[in-house]
Structure 1
Amino acid sequence: MNRLGFLLLAGASLGLAAQAQAQSQDDYAGMLTYLANSRIDGNVLSGSSGAVAVNMAAGDLNLQANLHSMAIGKTALASVSAIQKQRGNQFDMPLHASATLGGQALVGANGIASINQASGSGNTELNSVVAVLADQGIRETTNEAMASAGSFASAGGQGTAGGLASPGTRKVGVEASALRGFEGVLQLNQIAGSSNATENQLSISVQPTP
């Protein structure tokens, strides 16, 4: 092979390498976009009945929990206890993040549905349901009593790699086609972003029918 042929071959190889690198970077950027978007869609859980618990996270270092506690009896007692903490973690904040509930999700469903959906980093989400069927009758629960039942979530004390994120878009939403005809208890936490903490807590005490 003469020198000119060798140079042409080397130039072609370098061009292919640059193209492969650009393709790899594009794929990586696309993967990062995918990791910052979560969506519940289609006919997911449509027509379901009973207790449903869903945890969906796109990103890093997200904490999620769905806790249900129920008791039946003359002196029945039920409680839940949860502690979620994150400290000293380093993570990147996505420029764009979204969490969406759409399609025909949970259409015609009934019962208890607890859903945590997060897109981003360093978020905590908690759903808790406590239900008691007892002869003690209906008892009123104060805010202080509910707080002492043991639900705590914290996303504080965390750092971001590279400082603050550039301005971007963060959005959550429930499309009009979802949840139609749902009956029962619905708990929904949706987060798009970083270092957020959300919680839904429900406590019910009911006296049985004679």
Structure 2
Amino acid sequence: MALLFALAAAPVAADDYGAMLGYLTQSRVDGSAFSGASGALALNVAAGDLNQQSNLRAIAIATRAIASTDVRQARRGDRTTSPDAASAVIAGRAFSGASGLAGINQASGSGNAAFNAVALALAQQGIRETDDDQALSAAFASAGQQHDFERGGATAGRRVASVDSTALQGFEGVLQLNQVAGSGNDTGNVLSMSIQSGP
């Protein structure tokens, strides 16, 4: 009986050992991280190789106001091995009860590009540099199409990107979230607003 148990357990042990030797990436925001925080919040967290992340904010308040952001993320000829397992998780009470303008970039893997961009302009009514069609608060953003990501290994594997139900609860304001698990992903969020003050 003991011999049968040992034989049955051997493949499991071998599989566990193989998994331990694999290339694993995990990024996790957990506990009470940023819980109750307020204001301009920016978080870039990455596990793996050759990941690019940015959070940009442009705010202009004046008689004549214009705000813009310009994001250009580029890579050329990168070569890396894709992870066997990649996990990006936001859990616990992270960001719960927080408020304001939050940008979160979370990546697990290789060769990912992510950005959050916000451009806000507040000008007196009737005195504006451009009209709405010309995008007073313009944001030009480009995360993808500028790089040649060369995968050095197999792309198959376990990929998990998740936000637990307890995280982000009660957040008030503007929340931009890019969350990826894998390789060669390009993601971005852009918010542009122009507001007139006065009657």
TM exceeding 0.5:
yes
- TM-score, normalised on structure 2? 0.81
State the match for 1:11 in structure 2: none
Q: How many residues align?
A: 178
Deviations 1:148-180 (A, max 9, x none): 743111264121224x33x32112111100111
State the match for 2:166 in structure 1: 177
State the match for 1:29 in structure 2: 21
State the match for 1:118 in structure 2: 107
State the match for 1:81 in structure 2: 70
The 5 Å alignment of 1:4-153 reads: 29=21, 32-33=23-24, 36-136=25-125, 140=132, 149-153=139-143
Offset, 1:26: 7.8
State the match for 2:6 in structure 1: none
Contact 1:86-1:154 within 8 A present in 2 as well = no
Supply the distance in 2 between the matched residues of 1:169 and 1:91 (Cα, whole angstroms). Answer: 17
Could you tell me which amino acid in structure 1 is paired with residue 52 of structure 2? L
- TM-score, normalised on structure 1? 0.77
Matched, 1:161 2:132: no
Return the structure number with greater strand share: 2
Offset, 1:43: 0.4
In structure 1, the residue corresponding to 2:21 is in which secondary structure?
A: helix
Return the structure number with greater helix share: 1
State the match for 2:3 in structure 1: none
Deviations 1:108-153 (A, max 9, x none): 11000100000000010000001111114696457xx59x743111
CA separation of 1:130 and 1:149: change in aligned 2, threshold 3 A: closer
Contact 1:43-1:105 within 8 A present in 2 as well = yes
In structure 1, the residue corresponding to 2:69 is in which secondary structure?
A: coil
Supply the distance in 2 between the matched residues of 1:109 and 1:141 (Cα, whole angstroms). Answer: 34
- Aligned Cα root-mean-square deviation (Å): 2.3
Could you tell me which amino acid in structure 2 is paired with residue 193 of structure 1? G
Could you tell me which amino acid in structure 2 is paired with residue 29 of structure 1? L
Contact 1:38-1:57 within 8 A present in 2 as well = yes
The structure with more radius of gyration: 1
Offset, 1:190: 0.3
Contact 2:117-2:139 within 8 A present in 1 as well = no
Identical-residue share of aligned pairs (%) = 47
Supply the distance in 1 between the matched residues of 2:112 and 2:98 (Cα, whole angstroms). Answer: 28
CA separation of 1:39 and 1:56: change in aligned 2, threshold 3 A: same
Show structure 2 runs of 5+ residues with no match: 1-16
